[in-house]
């Protein structure tokens, strides 16, 4: 299904991004994983690029190299994001700006870079990784994170509308609480989740791959929440 | 290997139209399909078998508790398990666009009986097996008209809004058993049902929809298949209580 497709995943050095990148590689795609911090070792099938998505020059350089090497981009997964546990009144201006720069400006810059190549190729798919925090108040996350993720869900709609006519679909996957080790979640919080456990990075892969695939060819502008049923009312 | 290999799925209303697409598509992905419908399911069963798949045809009236129990029993007798249920059977194509005051009580009751009670009864009949299996997936077919509040189909729209509430609440009640419950809200899809519904209504359905959409083409029954297969597959294991909206970027944009 994804053989020969060129897939770019940002923030793919670890966590959800790494899991998504690995799955696309499993399916035979040519995968570029961009991150500010690259893993030691890493997956030999994946092309790792050190990039700060909040930096316009870094992003321009990244996509120039990708187009030079592969000639196209079929799928872009905007996953790079940072977060801080921070009460609102304790958020400094610098930290506010930093979170928005990585989480939101990063999506803007990377998306801008793929529009022309995708349009020239007749289409493409963009999957933005948002968050449950973009739709509902999520304890443990700072207001800057919430705001950036809400913006991503809404930006997804505008992009879907503007880019739809070029054959580019844009959707968003909104993870719930995701931990490298689900047993880290206290039992009283686990009990509030219908499927009885915290999410792990692998849980987000299916939705992302689906939305990027031809099976979702009539789906655009949507935010799909993947959270074990923790949140459903939005 | 198909994404639904060895899974057994009951798909109601699958003898025709969009349901038939679901049945054929699920079988192509390796599922054993129970083609359940009030009209004769034999032709779709034959199509699946001709393509090398396995299927069982069951005649069912989803608004009847007895009939749905027989449907579940027949599925278990033939295949031994039920992995997914697609509550797709609904009164739609047989209706006509009309003002809400022109809907008589009998018609209102019939729509609720099939579209809402039918979904409840099918789940009631099938979930015990899923509990024993410690897992299963329920996919309820709602409609984008419930999100948009489309006029001219008040009973239908109301019944499809009920699907959303039902999905969210049931997901919370059965999650502990490893059962996920989700809903698909299709946009207005160019099916025989839609054609019949809007016939003579004077409404330019297709053109108006296109102007508002992100994707500039009409929605076909086949466009819904990917979402159904995805939600029935292990790729959607951690997704429950959710709406997957398939409409070319129309209602929520």
pLDDT tens digits, A153-183: 999 999 999 999 999 999 999 999 999 899 9
Q: Which one is catalytic: A145, A199, A209, A227?
A: A145
Instruction: Identify the residue among B4, B209, B249 best suited for mutation to test binding to A, counting A beta carbons within 10 A and taking the highest.
Output: B249
Boundaries of domain holding A175: 6-179+201-226
pLDDT-flagged residues of chain B (< 70): 203-208
pLDDT tens figures, B21-49: 999 999 999 999 999 999 999 999 999 99
Top residue of A219, A228, A230 to mutate, by most chain B CBs within 10 Å, is: A219
Coil, helix or strand at residue A131: coil
Q: Which residues of B touch A207 (CB under 8 A)?
A: 235-236, 239
What's the pLDDT at A25? 97
Nearest to B97 by CA among B161, B164, B155: B155
Query: Could A194 and B236 be called an inter-chain contact, meaning their C-beta atoms sit closer than 8 Å?
Result: no
In this complex, which of A160, A221, A232 lies closest to B171 when CB atoms are compared? A232
Residue A145 annotated to the active site: yes
Query: For residue A102, what is the domain's CATH number?
Result: 3.40.50.720
**Chain A residues near any Cβ of chain B (below 8 Å):** 157, 160-161, 164-165, 169, 193-196, 199, 203, 205-207, 209-210, 213-222, 224-229, 232-233
A59 assigned to some structural domain:
yes
pLDDT in tens, A186-224: 999 999 999 999 999 999 999 999 999 999 999 999 999
What's the gap in Å between the CA of B190 and the closest CA on chain A?
13
Active site residues of B: 156
Considering the domain boundaries, does residue A74 fall inside one? yes
Domains and CATH numbers, chain B: 8-246 (3.40.50.720)
Out of A157, A199, A216, whose CB is closest to B238?
A199
Any chain A CB within 8 A of the CB of B245?
yes
Residue A28's SS3 state is coil
Residue A187 in domain: no
Does residue A1 belong to any structural domain of this protein? no
Partner A contacted by B176 (CB < 8 A): yes
* pLDDT for A99: 98
CA distance B214 to A76: 19
Q: Which two tokens stand for residue B39?
A: 């009209």
Q: How far apart are CA B3 and CA A147, in angstroms?
A: 37
Asked if residue A195 is part of any domain, the answer here is no
The residue of chain B nearest to residue A158, with distances taken between CA atoms, is B253
**pLDDT value, residue A17:** 98
Contact A161 B249 (CB under 8 A): yes
* Chain B positions in Cβ-Cβ contact with residue A174 (cut-off 8 Å): none
CB contact under 8 A, B215 and A169: yes
Contact between B215 and A164 using a beta-carbon 8 Å cutoff: yes
ipTM: 0.96
Q: What is the tens place of the pLDDT at every residue in A30-69?
A: 999 999 999 998 999 999 999 999 999 999 999 999 999 9
Which H, E and C letters describe chain B, residue by residue?
CCCCCCCEEEEECCCCHHHHHHHHHHHHCCCEEEEEECCCCHHHHHHHHHCCCEEEEEECCCCCHHHHHHHHHHHHHHHCCCCEEEECCCCCCCCCCCCHHHCCHHHHHHHHHHHHHHHHHHHHHHHHHHHHHCCEEEEEECCHHHHHCCCCCHHHHHHHHHHHHHHHHHHHHHHHHCEEEEEEEECCECCHHHHHHHCCCCCCHHHHHHHHCCCCCCECHHHHHHHHHHHHCHHHCCCCCCEEEECCCCCCC
Substitution target in B136, B183, B187, B239 with the highest count of A β-carbons within 10 Å is B239
Q: Quick one: pLDDT at residue B205?
A: 66
Q: What is the pLDDT of residue A233?
A: 76
- Domains held by chain A: number: 1
A231 belongs to a structural domain? no
Whether residue A114 has pLDDT greater than 80: yes
Give residue A2's pLDDT. 52
Does the residue A62 lie in any domain?
yes
CB contact under 8 A, B245 and A157: no
Q: Looking at the domain assignment, is residue A185 inside a domain?
A: no
CB atoms within 10 A of CB B249: 26
For chain A, say whether B210 makes contact (Cβ under 8 Å). Answer: no
């Amino acid at each position: 299904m994804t053989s020969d497709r060129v897939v770019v995943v940002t923030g793919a050095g670890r966590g959800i991004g790494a899991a998504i990148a690995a799955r696309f590689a499993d399916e035979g795609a040519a995968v570029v994983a961009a991150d500010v911090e690259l893993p030691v070792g890493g997956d030999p099938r994946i092309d790792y690029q050190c990039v700060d998505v909040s930096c316009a020059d870094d992003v321009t350089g990244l996509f120039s190299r990708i187009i030079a090497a592969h000639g196209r981009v079929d799928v872009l997964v905007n996953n790079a994001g940072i977060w801080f546990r921070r009460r609102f009144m304790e958020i400094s201006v610098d930290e506010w700006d930093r979170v928005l720069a990585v989480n939101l400006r990063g999506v803007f810059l990377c998306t801008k870079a793929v529009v022309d190549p995708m349009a020239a190729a007749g289409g493409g798919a963009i999957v933005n990784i948002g968050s449950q925090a973009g739709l509902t108040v999520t304890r443990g996350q700072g207001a800057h994170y919430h705001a950036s993720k809400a913006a991503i869900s809404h930006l997804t709609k505008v992009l879907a509308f503007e880019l739809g006519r070029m054959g580019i679909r844009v959707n968003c996957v909104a993870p719930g609480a995701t931990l490298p080790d689900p047993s880290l979640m206290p039992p009283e919080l686990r009990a509030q989740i219908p499927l009885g456990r915290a999410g792990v990075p692998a849980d987000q892969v299916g939705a992302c791959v689906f939305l990027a695939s031809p099976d979702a060819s009539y789906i655009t502008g949507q935010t799909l929440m993947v959270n074990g049923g923790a949140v459903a009312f939005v | 290997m198909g994404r639904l290999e060895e899974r057994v799925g009951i798909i109601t209303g699958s003898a025709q139209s969009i349901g038939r697409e679901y049945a054929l598509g699920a079988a192509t992905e390796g599922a054993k399909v129970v083609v359940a419908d009030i009209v004769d399911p034999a032709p779709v069963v034959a199509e699946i078998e001709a393509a090398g798949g396995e299927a069982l045809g069951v005649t069912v009236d989803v608004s009847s508790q007895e009939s749905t129990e027989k449907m579940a029993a027949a599925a278990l007798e033939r295949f031994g398990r039920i992995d997914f249920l697609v509550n797709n059977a609904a009164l739609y194509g047989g209706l006509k666009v009309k003002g809400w005051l022109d809907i008589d009580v009998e018609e209102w009751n019939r729509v609720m009986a099939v579209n809402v009670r039918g979904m409840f009864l099918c789940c009631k009949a099938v979930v015990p097996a899923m509990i024993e299996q410690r897992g299963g997936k329920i996919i309820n077919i709602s409609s984008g008209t419930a999100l948009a509040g489309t006029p001219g189909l008040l009973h239908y729209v109301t019944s499809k809004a009920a699907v959303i509430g039902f999905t969210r609440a049931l997901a919370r009640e059965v999650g502990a058993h490893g059962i996920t419950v989700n809903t698909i809200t299709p946009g207005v899809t160019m099916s025989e049902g839609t054609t019949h519904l809007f016939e003579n209504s004077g409404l330019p359905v297709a053109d108006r929809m296109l102007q508002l959409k992100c994707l500039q083409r009409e929605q076909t029954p086949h466009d819904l298949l990917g979402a159904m297969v995805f939600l029935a597959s292990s790729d959607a294991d951690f997704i429950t209580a959710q709406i997957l909206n398939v409409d070319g970027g129309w209602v929520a944009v």
